[in-house]
Amino acid sequence: MRFTIQREELFKPLQQTVGAVERRQTMAILGNVLLRSEAGKLWLTTTDLEIELVSSCTPDSIDMDSSLTVPARKLFDICRSLPEGAEIELTAESERALVRSGRSRFTLTTLPAQDYPALDTFVSQAEFSLPKAQLKGLLSHTAFAMAQQDVRYYLNGLLLEVTAEHVTTVATDGHRLATARLAAALGSGEYSVIVPRKAVTELSRLISDEEGEVTVRLGANNIELTFDGLRFTSKLIDGRFPDYQRVIPSGNDKAVMITREVLRQALQRASILSNEKYRGIRLGLAPNLMRIEAHNPEQEEAEVELEIDYSGEEMDIGFNLTYLLDVINTVSGENLQLEFRDSSSSVLISDPAEPGASYVIMPMRL
> Which SS3 state, helix, strand or coil, does residue 196 take?
strand
Architecture of the structural domain at 2-115? Roll (3.10)
Residue 306, C-beta contacts closer than 8 angstroms, at least 6 positions apart: 258, 262, 263, 266, 289, 290, 291, 292
The CA-atom distances, in angstroms, between 127 and each of 50, 187, 214, 219, 273 are 21, 10, 11, 9, 50
Torsion of CA 341, 288, 259, 272, to 10 degrees: -90
Residue 322, C-beta contacts closer than 8 angstroms, at least 6 positions apart: 279
Cα 76 from chain centre: 22
Bridge partners (DSSP) of residue 237 are none
| pLDDT (0 to 100) of residue 187 | 72
- CB of 284 closer than 8 Å to CB of 277: no
Q: Which of 146, 180, 161 is nearest to 223 (CA)?
A: 161
H/E stretch holding 328 reads helix 321-330
pTM: 0.92
| pLDDT (0 to 100) of residue 11 | 97
Domain ranges of the chain: 2-115, 124-246, 254-361
Q: Do domains 2-115 and 124-246 have the same CATH topology?
A: yes
Cα angle 143-149-155, degrees, rounded to a multiple of 5? 50
Residue 7, number of CB atoms within 10 A of its CB: 19
In angstroms, the CA 366 to CA 41 distance is 61
In angstroms, the CA 39 to CA 202 distance is 29
| pLDDT (0 to 100) of residue 186 | 80
- CB of 44 closer than 8 Å to CB of 33: yes
In angstroms, the CA 99 to CA 345 distance is 61
User: Domain 254-361: which topology?
Assistant: DNA Polymerase III; Chain A, domain 2 (3.10.150)
| CATH number, domain 124-246, options 3.40.50.970, 3.10.150.10, 3.60.15.10, 3.30.1310.10 | 3.10.150.10
In angstroms, the CA 262 to CA 73 distance is 43
How would you list the strands of the sheet with 222-227, edge to edge? 67-71, 32-38, 41-47, 51-57, 230-235, 222-227, 213-219, 124-131
| pLDDT (0 to 100) of residue 233 | 97
Pairing of strands 315-320, 301-307: unpaired
In angstroms, the CA 331 to CA 358 distance is 10
- CB of 296 closer than 8 Å to CB of 274: yes
| pLDDT (0 to 100) of residue 55 | 97
Positive or negative: CA dihedral 182, 185, 186, 192? positive
Cα 140 from chain centre: 7
How much helix, strand and coil, in percent to the nearest 5, is found in the chain? 25, 45, 35
- CB of 223 closer than 8 Å to CB of 121: no
Residue type, 107: T
Q: Is 166 exposed, middle or buried (0-12, 13-18, 19+ CB in 10 A)?
A: middle
What tens-digit pLDDT sequence spans the chain (366 residues)? 999 999 999 999 999 999 999 888 889 999 999 999 998 999 999 999 999 999 999 999 998 889 999 999 999 999 999 999 999 999 998 899 999 999 999 999 999 999 999 888 888 988 999 999 999 999 999 999 999 999 999 999 999 999 989 999 999 999 999 999 999 878 778 899 999 999 999 999 999 888 999 999 999 999 999 999 999 999 999 999 999 999 999 989 999 999 999 999 999 999 999 998 899 999 999 999 999 999 999 999 999 999 999 998 999 999 999 999 999 999 999 999 999 999 999 999 999 999 999 999 999 987
Cα angle 45-100-48, degrees, rounded to a multiple of 5? 20
Q: Which of 14, 20, 65 is nearest to 39 (CA)?
A: 65
